[in-house]
Structure 1
């Protein structure tokens, strides 16, 4: 009988390649699809392209491509397609993988593993790689690590890398709001 290491220690065994693309999926959903964050309505920035470039820079992700407004519009569609995966909807994730022609291959010099066709346009390539990373996380039994914030009024998603996969909130502000709300509810009764 073989016992996987992550079952013994509780530590996730997601490689850095998959983790990086899963984090990119998180970034796309949070920047381009979420309408409520940390208890407040999110209004799209006047220049979504600049906002997305800034978000890429914060995550030290270099797209290797000059973003256009059309790219941002396509990536907003991709974000909407990937968002249900964070709630466990694998049907829509499978549809996104098919729509963006996700297929493993090696290309470049030196060869680099990718999950998009070498001739795919930039948005399809990003969608295929990020979608495949989410599918791989789910496929190795770690789907509970793809989460949506449990705080009221927050739709942000995250990739839980804690040891026991117990993270419930996107960050400390939402956790504090939820705890304060629960405390006030207990005090009322």
Structure 2
């Protein structure tokens, strides 16, 4: 989601790759993830248009990390999120059989976010609090107190606060 939607990360502008499809496929390989519902013997391939649509889905889901449940509910409906068993052996997914690749991914992602919120862990879906950073993350700290996406943003925010205190 972060790679497809944010315009600023860690205090710097983000340049989105010219070839989103290739960037997504590289990310899938990096994370050892085989995307897509199986169709016949092969897998459905991501198209250029599908990669662009996924960027729209990322933008659509971004507000859920700030607690916008209404936006998440609209996305669940729009992408047809319903529990369903697919394949042999059956695998639980949250999209209808035959759904196109982007809507399948979107429905599954929407459902995952809804499940996190629904089990009372929504406060762990966070947006980085540093100026100039729009990254979102899942806070895995014991007391759900993480405020920044990483050390670079935390250090920038602390240095900015220190300089502000020194000026006064």
Q: 1:73 aligned to 2:52?
A: yes
What SS does the aligned partner of 2:88 have?
coil
| 1:165 maps to which of 115, 119, 144 | 144
Q: 1:151 aligned to 2:130?
A: yes
Larger relative contact order (Cα-Cα within 8 Å, sequence gap ≥ 6) = 1
Distance (Å, rounded) in 2 between the aligned partners of 1:61 and 1:165: 28
2:81/2:94 contact within 8 Å kept: yes
What SS does the aligned partner of 1:152 have?
coil
Distance (Å, rounded) in 2 between the aligned partners of 1:83 and 1:58: 23
Distance (Å, rounded) in 2 between the aligned partners of 1:139 and 1:75: 24
Q: 1:31 aligned to 2:3?
A: yes
| 1:184 maps to which of 158, 163, 166 | 163
Residue in 2 that maps onto 1:49? 21
Distance (Å, rounded) in 1 between the aligned partners of 2:31 and 2:141: 19
Residue in 1 that maps onto 2:114? 135
Q: 1:86 aligned to 2:65?
A: yes
Displacement of 1:54 in angstroms is: 2.1
2:127/2:134 contact within 8 Å kept: yes
Distance (Å, rounded) in 2 between the aligned partners of 1:188 and 1:152: 19
Q: Root-mean-square deviation (CA), in Å?
A: 1.1
Q: How many residues align?
A: 161
2:127/2:137 contact within 8 Å kept: yes
Distance (Å, rounded) in 2 between the aligned partners of 1:82 and 1:112: 24
Distance (Å, rounded) in 2 between the aligned partners of 1:135 and 1:53: 26
Query: Which deviates more, 64-73 or 112-121?
Result: 64-73
Structure 1 moving runs of 4+ over 3 Å: none
Displacement of 1:61 in angstroms is: 2.2
